[in-house]
Chains A and B, each alone.
Chain A
């Protein structure tokens, strides 16, 4: 089954404790992206990647890191989480094509930083 898998689904952590949210897709998609969703602010893009070893900042990259060492995986790293990073996070993937193919989303990771 084609899917994007995020882990964990829920996470409560303390300020400053490094964490990684994993994202994996099984569709051989080139494009992957991380978003955060906050009430009243919609979906804001954190980072995106067009292919292995190619990443770029989105609209709200501060406090986050990503890596794309393999095509299927795109982990999101919070080196020193702070309470303002409490949010719902989504990973998405899509083929790199101008043909209008849809993006596929993970189920989301609800992160609370206390």
Chain B
């Protein structure tokens, strides 16, 4: 079945550092890919998404490109801020394709940014 493998954390960086959080997936068909963010004490919220190969999702300075050839959707940001400290989840959805479709999440990566 479908699966998502995400870089283990925690990840600790200094402010203004470059961020990469790796995410790879296995899937049949043409799933959509997502990054969700969870701030302390809150639920998950969508950060960005891509619905087909070579699409680039972007939001709040974060970017990720849907790479079908490497089955990856790595999250990047050029200069992180303390306010980016959160848990980040990579996710895959094939909803609507079959009765077995669902949304699958990676294990989450905790990111801490030092001032």
Taking Cβ atoms with an 8 Å cutoff, the residues of A that contact B are 4, 31, 33, 35, 40-43, 45, 48, 50, 58, 90, 92, 94-103, 105-108
Contact = CB atoms under 8 A, between A and B. Distances in A.
Nearest to B32: A100
B89 A43 contact: yes
B43 A102 contact: no
Contacts of B105: 35, 42-43, 45
Interface in B95-110: 95-97, 99, 102-108
Contact of A90 (B44, B50, B97, B107): B44
Interface residues of B, number: 28
Contacts, number: 72
Contacts of A108: 42-43
A108 B39 CA distance: 12
A107 B42 contact: yes
A108 B89 CA distance: 16
A-B pairs with the 5 shortest C-beta distances?
A100-B32, A42-B107, A100-B51, A98-B96, A105-B43
B93 to A, nearest CB: 7
A33 B95 CA distance: 12
Contact of B96 (A43, A96, A103, A106): A96
